[in-house]
Homo-oligomer: A and B are copies of this chain.
């Protein structure tokens, strides 16, 4: 028995808007025959990018027109006050009202957080949603949260993140008992700040988690843990720091292969290798990030995503729908509360 599902796409979000979101949506429809997509945004900007549709795909693509949008630099507080009727807001509303099973946006992260929380509400037992994303590791990839939704976290929040991250990794990666690590400055017991120490006690007392204890910064990319838990301040800076380093290295590689004719030729020959490395290098660009802990599925694509990357975010939404991720999280949290 096949399931049919719908994704509401904030077509105006991201650095490139409909130029990326529309073609990428059509490609996703071709990949997923049970998928319907609602493109939310300005009709006149969306339509020019819809081309050469075969009738099957055309039947599964709808446009919901709005002329309002949330700017990439708009403050979350402004978005919350004045964002009603924007493409992002309407996409989230489609999820809360049951017209769509998930929302995907490449728009302003802060705005998506506050609007998502306001429109969809958090799951019972979850105080704050968290942003989770896959990061590449030596062994494949792991999941890291929170990546910026919460800058001041109490120990209880870190524990909720641990549960949500574990459930997501179980569901999406089919790992029976994902190893959960708590990010800290050292593996010694005496290290760490107060919230982290308390969170470590809470998580280790939680019977259902496969908690491996503290991990350090270099373990984010080693694959020692399947789920890396931290507060949003640390997670955001660690992830953006990695983006910055990847960028620096890309730059150095380029200039290293430009010193003299011999190296230029070598660089030319190595182009496919370097292109492959480029793809693997940047931990944040490949996958969509998910907002966990809401009563509905919300996937955030990188703002600068191209068609292919936006497609990863759409695929991510499809797997979360197929896994009923919010319900799974809800069940685990309820188990813990009772």
Contact = CB atoms under 8 A, between A and B. Distances in A.
Interface of A: 75-77, 110, 136-138, 148, 151-152, 183, 185-186, 188, 190-194, 196, 216-222, 230, 232-234, 236-249, 251-253, 256-257, 263, 266, 269-270, 273, 276-277, 280-281, 283
Contacts of A269: 266, 269
Given A190-B76, A245-B221, A266 B273 contact: yes
Given A138-B251, A233-B234, A266-B273, A218 B244 contact: yes
Nearest to A252: B280
A42 to B, nearest CB: 26
Contacts of A245: 220-221, 242, 245-246, 283
A252 B138 CA distance: 8
Given A221-B244, A244-B218, A277-B252, A151 B185 contact: yes
B219 A244 contact: yes
Contact of A190 (B75, B248, B270): B75
A52 B276 CA distance: 49
B256 A276 contact: yes
Given A246-B249, A256-B276, A241 B217 contact: yes
Copies in the complex: 2
B220 A244 contact: yes
A277 B253 contact: yes
28 contacts: A77-B190, A137-B248, A138-B247, A138-B248, A138-B251, A148-B185, A148-B186, A151-B192, A152-B194, A185-B232, A216-B236, A216-B240, A217-B238, A217-B242, A218-B247, A221-B245, A222-B244, A222-B247, A222-B248, A230-B237, A233-B234, A237-B238, A238-B241, A249-B280, A249-B281, A253-B277, A256-B273, A256-B276
Given A218-B247, A241-B241, 5 more contacts: A137-B248, A152-B193, A192-B233, A217-B239, A245-B246
Given A220-B244, A244-B217, A266-B269, A186 B110 contact: yes
A239 to B, nearest CB: 7
Closest 6 CB pairs of A and B: A217-B240, A218-B244, A221-B244, A217-B241, A217-B237, A221-B248
Contacts of A186: 110, 148
Nearest to A187: B73
Contacts of A234: 233-234, 237
Nearest to A75: B188
A241 B270 contact: no
